[in-house]
């Protein structure tokens, strides 16, 4: 059996967590990532029939029953993943309609999956129904997007339009817009359900005064979504208090989308 620490999905996860920490998006033990794997993909590196232990998940998501995920652990620091992946990450398979998580590898110190697992799994289910190729859910706390939720209206259309106007790339990268939730208690099924509902239309969901969820077909795509939105938010925070002399107009935004063949969120451009 191949060395799991050399698996492409493992090296991608280790690299991504390290970069996110270096960006300042995941202070202390904050942030979490889940990556959906196919059974045969995992089976090259572990015995998928050998269950180390079973942990209740506290939620139910029947559509993901039997699916395998590489996830970050609760209370773990992203900065430590590259040095002890077997302690800070775990491979788990959902069972019993999603109510149980079978640990197949990792969490070697007796730890468990992130406390945000319900929100991750509900978002996976929502995105898979919209895009069967979706494999990644990523959560972090980028400073500028977080700051923006204190000074900008939380109206999704206006929040999205502001970010689109900050740099040309924004509408290219997230033409489907930004979902925005008001402050809610994290680590609960309620915020997971609310996030999943937003994920039906948007691949980015902002949790006001908390952070952001980004999804994608792979880790690069999910990371790139957050990276682009955070850059746009940084430009906004640097200019919002200044006299604005120039901006990207709706006509220009439409021109960008038409040129690239992107379908823009309906009703978001005048």
Q: Which residues are catalytic?
A: 116
Rounded to whole angstroms, the Cα distance separating 211 from 26 reads 10
- Distances in Å between the Cα of 188 and the Cα atoms of 45, 165, 185 are 33, 34, 7
Rounded to whole angstroms, the Cα distance separating 117 from 184 reads 16
Q: Which residues contact 269 (CB under 8 A, 6 or more apart)?
A: 161, 250, 253, 254
- Asked whether the beta carbons of 216 and 134 are under 8 A apart, the reply is yes
Half-sphere exposure of 43 (CA within 13 A, CB side): 6
- Asked whether the beta carbons of 204 and 223 are under 8 A apart, the reply is no
Torsion of CA 102, 136, 73, 88, to 10 degrees: 100
Round the CA-based radius of gyration of the chain to a whole number and report it.
19
């Amino acid at each position: 059996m191949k060395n799991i620490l050399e698996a492409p999905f493992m090296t991608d996860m280790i690299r991504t967590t390290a970069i996110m920490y270096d960006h300042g998006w995941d202070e202390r033990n904050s942030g979490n990532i889940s990556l959906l794997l196919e059974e045969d993909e995992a089976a090259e590196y572990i015995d998928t029939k050998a269950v180390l232990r079973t942990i209740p998940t506290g939620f139910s998501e029947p559509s993901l029953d039997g699916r395998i995920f590489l996830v970050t652990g609760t209370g773990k620091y992203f900065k430590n993943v590259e040095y002890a992946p077997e302690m800070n990450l775990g491979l788990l398979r959902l069972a019993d309609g999603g109510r149980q998580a079978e640990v197949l590898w990792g969490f070697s110190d007796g730890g468990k999956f992130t406390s945000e697992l319900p929100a991750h799994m509900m978002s996976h289910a929502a995105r898979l129904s919209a895009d069967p190729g979706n494999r990644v859910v990523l959560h972090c706390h980028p400073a500028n997007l977080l700051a923006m939720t204190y000074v900008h209206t939380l109206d999704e259309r206006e929040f999205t339009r502001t970010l689109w106007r900050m740099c040309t790339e924004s509408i290219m990268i997230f033409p489907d817009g930004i979902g925005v939730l008001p402050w809610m208690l994290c680590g609960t099924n309620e915020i997971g359900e609310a996030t999943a509902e937003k994920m039906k239309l948007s691949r980015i969901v902002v949790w006001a005064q908390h952070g952001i969820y980004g999804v994608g077909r792979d880790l690069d795509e999910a990371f790139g979504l957050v990276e682009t939105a955070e850059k746009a938010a940084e430009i906004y925070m640097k200019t919002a208090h200044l006299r604005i002399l120039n901006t990207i107009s709706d006509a220009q935004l439409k021109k960008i989308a038409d040129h690239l063949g992107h379908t823009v969120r309906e009703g978001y451009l005048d």
